[in-house]
Amino acid sequence: AQTVTQSQPEMSVQEAETVTLSCTYDTSESDYYLFWYKQPPSRQMILVIRQEAYKQQNATENRFSVNFQKAAKSFSLKISDSQLGDAAMYFCAYRSDGYNTDKLIFGTGTRLQVFP
């Protein structure tokens, strides 16, 4: 069975600075997807970024980028130029590749605080 681990329960960053959130996972599969989701106080889950395991290039979405190390089974999220609106819970998630395999496995989450 696949597992996702987030070892940082809480992180903090100053506005405009950069912060990196860590995530490791365990799987015996070779093809899969990894995600970072943001959950603000409203509790609405928002997809931040997605990485396909077959792609060597790290995904980037504006100020958000990932460092995907497949061999090490590591998937960290870097937030550049942090903004107050980035404060939220961040969840790393895993999904197997293939049809009818949409189930997501979530990590325990990291609470990010952003200070002005």
Partner 1 sequence: GAVVSQHPSWVICKSGTSVKIECRSLDFQATTMFWYRQFPKQSLMLMATSNEGSKATYEQGVEKDKFLINHASLTLSTLTVTSAHPEDSSFYICSAPTPTDNSYNEQFFGPGTRLTVL
105 binds partner 1 (CB under 8 A): yes
Work out which of 24, 27, 33, 76 binds partner 1, going by CB under 8 A: 33
User: Which DSSP state fits 59?
Assistant: P
Residues 39-68 interacting with partner 1 (rule: CB under 8 A) = 42-45, 47, 52
Q: How far is CA 105 from CA 3, 4, 79, 82, 115, in A?
A: 7, 7, 22, 27, 30
- Evaluated on CA atoms 103, 62, 87, 107, the torsion sign reads positive
d(CA 77, CA 68): 9
Q: How far is the CB of 49 from partner 1 (least distance, A)?
A: 12
Total residues at interface with partner 1 (CB under 8 A): 22
18 or 54: CB nearest partner 1: 54
Residues at the interface with partner 1 (CB under 8 A): 33, 42-45, 47, 52, 91, 97-109, 111
